[in-house]
Amino acid sequence: VLLLCTGGASFGTWFWTRSAVNTTGEVDFVNPLAIPPLAESRIDDKGRRVFDLRAQTGHRTFGPDGATPTWGYNGDYLGPTLRATRGEQVMVNVVNGVGEPTSVHWHGMHLPAAMDGGPHQMVRPGATWSPHWTINQPAASLWYHPHLHGETERHVYRGLAGMFILDDEVSAGLALPRRYGVDDIPVIVQDRNFDSDGRFDAGRGLFGGIGVLGDTLLVNGTVGPYLEVGTERVRLRLLNGSTARTYQFGFADNRDFALIGTDGGLLTAPYRTGRIRLSPGERAEIVVTVRAGERAVLRSYPPEQGLDFFNQRFSGSDDRFDVLELRAAATLAPAPEVPDRLAPIERLDPASAAATRTFTMAGHDINDHDMDLGRIDFAVTRDTTEIWEITKPDGSPHSFHVHDVQFQVLSVAGREPPPELRGWKDTVLLERQRPIRIIARFADHADPNMPYMYHCHLLYHEDQGMMGQFVVVEPGQQPGRPPAGDHHH
């Protein structure tokens, strides 16, 4: 029987019947971890690195219940890992083969709004969209996923997502594990429900109104995954690719690992910790040390008591999941210590901020507004820095994600941010009545008519309208009008 995690167990008994829910969250690690292939690319006559991505329908057999209808890019589930280096120009030919409109957003990427792949860059069935831009940001683990207004959760849940790794001179010069698929591993964590025919079942968290909480974990699309490790150290690029669930990753034996990077790049120095919490859309790069012959289990732990935003309140379980088993070989190739210094991060100066804005995330609104594709909520002046303060007054889980920029967290509830929030971020989980102040620089890419999005990254909330739009304008310029929408829902 397919072994399931406990996450949605109580919902499971409400909404569908599965017999195999394992109430301790333990999993039989019986399947080798799938590694998304590195996307092929070519250099065109303009010197651009060109990728091809085709969103398509397919089937994937995840377990013994038979084939699940899925969507994927260039395959049946998820997509290849795109990879490019700072300074390169890239172009992606996105072909829509899923038979209904979709889009592809480059989450975490600094790029012109018209290339961003948000709801204004809808790709019609059968059409090709070819955004191009210059990579101009630090080495990082970014990702891509659909972003059509009102459809994001469903499209991602079907399987459309992939990683986009950026390299730069700094990352190339560091003694970090870097052999993709060998000691440098993408770990895309998603929770899913299956109905009795093996189909993905939304099993929506109706009572909590937070979207899908699945009872089965997939890692890179693999149920019960293990990874053979042949080196003393392995780098895991963790991506929470789930639609609603927040994880708190750690190891079953509570060993420490080195957190080396967050959403938008490497930290200034590794932070040794035993836990890292990731809400939907967030990433963390960690380096784990293993001993010859051992098996080390990556787990997601229930969060601390007293915090209101966590899944177990909605899933009715204790929310413990086994995620991935690392199987260390009997003899391991040596790997250097993680360097003490990683990447320089220039701190943005709050005194230089041209504006301070406040955002209240409540219900399905931001600042009492529902998303309107025809409304620009505000304009930011090109080449300025802004401070944004985000508050969540209610007990529902919300996060905050902003397009175009990587930001720095200035404070959480008035205090210095914890070490895991001191690097570049594009998505952050909010806790009730603990305002988060962030600072970001909007360096370039002015376009008064084409907005960027900011939103809750619980995809159900995003689809429900917990999203807004801003434009970047030249000094003194007025915001224009977003493209006329034939894509309102």
Query: Nearest distance from residue 483's CB to ligand C2O, in Å?
Result: 17
Closest approach, Cβ 471 to ligand C2O, in A, equals 15
Phi–psi pair at 15, nearest 5 degrees: -110, -20
Residue 388, CA distances (Å) to 34, 210, 278, 400, 434 in order: 39, 24, 21, 11, 14
Q: Which is nearer to Cu ion, 180 or 314 (CB)?
A: 314
Q: Considering only 272-280, 313-321, 392-400, 470-478, which stretch makes contact with Cu ion by CB under 5 A? A: 392-400
CB nearer to ligand C2O: pick between 275 and 401 = 401
- Residue 425, interface with ligand C2O (CB under 6 A)? no
Q: Residue 192: which of Cu ion, ligand C2O, none does it interact with, CB under 5 to 8 A by kind?
A: none
- CA separation for the pair 381, 435 (Å, rounded): 24
Q: Does residue 458 touch Cu ion according to CB under 5 A?
A: yes
Q: Which of 49, 107, 233, 235 binds ligand C2O (CB under 6 A)?
A: 107
As a 3-state breakdown, the chain gives helix, strand, coil percent values, each rounded to 5, of 10, 40, 50
Q: Is 453 in the site for ligand C2O (CB under 6 A)?
A: yes
Task: Report if residue 398 touches Cu ion, rule: CB under 5 A.
Answer: yes
Q: How far is the CB of 279 from ligand C2O (least distance, A)?
A: 11
State how far Cα 381 lies from the chain centre: 27
Please say which residue, 148 or 456, places its beta carbon nearer to Cu ion. 456
- Count of alpha carbons within 13 Å of 155, Cβ hemisphere only? 29
With CB under 6 A as the contact rule, which of the stretches 225-233, 416-424, 449-457, 468-476 interacts with ligand C2O? 449-457
Q: Pick one of 281, 397, 435, 465: the residue that binds ligand C2O (CB under 6 A).
A: 281
Longest dimension (CA), the chain: 65
- In the complex, residue closest to ligand C2O by CB: 107
- Judged by CB under 5 A, which of 237, 437, 461, 487 binds Cu ion? 461
Tell how far CA 144 is from the center of its chain. 8
Cα gap 75→52, rounded to integer Å: 12
Question: Closest distance between ligand C2O and the C-beta of residue 119, in Å?
Answer: 9
Contact range with Cu ion by CB under 5 A, out of 19-27, 369-377, 395-403, 411-419? 395-403
Is 461 near ligand C2O (CB under 6 A)?
A: no
From residue 140 to residue 179, what is the string marking binding to ligand C2O with x (rule CB under 6 A)?
-----x-x--------------------------------
CA 34 to chain centre: 18
Pair type for strands 257-262 and 89-97: unpaired
Q: Which residues have CB under 8 Å from 264's CB, separation 6+?
A: 108, 137, 138, 140, 142, 406, 423, 424, 425, 426
The arrangement of strands across the sheet holding 105-107 comes to 82-85, 162-167, 140-145, 105-107
In degrees and rounded to multiples of 5, residue 460 shows phi and psi of -65, -45
In this structure, the dihedral spanned by the alpha carbons of residues 24, 26, 27 and 33, taken in order and rounded to 10 degrees, is 140
Instruction: Tell me which stretch binds ligand C2O (CB under 6 A): 160-168, 371-379, 451-459, 475-483.
Output: 451-459
If one asks whether residue 398 binds ligand C2O (CB under 6 A), the answer comes out as no
Q: 419: which DSSP letter?
A: G
Residue numbers of the site for ligand C2O (CB under 6 A)? 105, 107, 145, 147, 281, 401, 403, 453, 455, 457
Residues forming contacts to Cu ion in the complex (CB under 5 A) are 107, 398, 403, 456, 458, 461
